[in-house]
Amino acid sequence: MFEVGGAVPAQHVAHKLPYLWVMAFDRSGFRIDLTPDQVVELAKQLPGKQKLELAKALEREGLLTRLEQIMAALKDVDIDEETIRKEVEIVRAKRYAAWKKKAAKSRR
């Protein structure tokens, strides 16, 4: 269909783009290898709403990866709710004090 590593002709992308995305993530083992630049060029051709959906999906993927990293780092940490509550109160007090100080400066 497309040459691996080559540019994707625009005439092939316009009518097959939704199918390409489905095929790219199909679990049957079929795979289309695209460079990051090719993916960007494909994304540029999407309508506005689909660009937003793609951006949200990529953001979710990044957030999920980060969450997995945090959870892996904390899997052996033993902490109880009381310790968490105390730490939250400390952070809230610091933030409130900083906000109060900033508000006082702006009133002058």
- Of 66, 71, 39, 75, the closest CA to residue 55 belongs to 39
The answer to whether position 46 is within a domain reads no
The answer to whether position 49 is within a domain reads no
**Percentage of residues in the chain with pLDDT exceeding 70?**
73
- Is the model's pLDDT at 81 over the cut of 70? yes
The answer to whether position 91 is within a domain reads yes
The answer to whether position 107 is within a domain reads yes
Please tell me which residue, 16 or 57, carries the higher pLDDT value: 57
Domains: count for the chain:
1
- Is the model's pLDDT at 2 over the cut of 50? no
The answer to whether position 95 is within a domain reads yes
Provide the mean pLDDT of the chain: 79
Q: Structural domain of residue 106, as residue ranges?
A: 78-108
What 3-state class would DSSP assign to 82? helix
The answer to whether position 58 is within a domain reads no
For residue 16, count other CB atoms closer than 10 A to its CB: 14
The answer to whether position 101 is within a domain reads yes
pLDDT per residue over 14-55, tens digit each?
Answer: 444 444 444 445 566 777 888 888 888 999 999 999 999 999
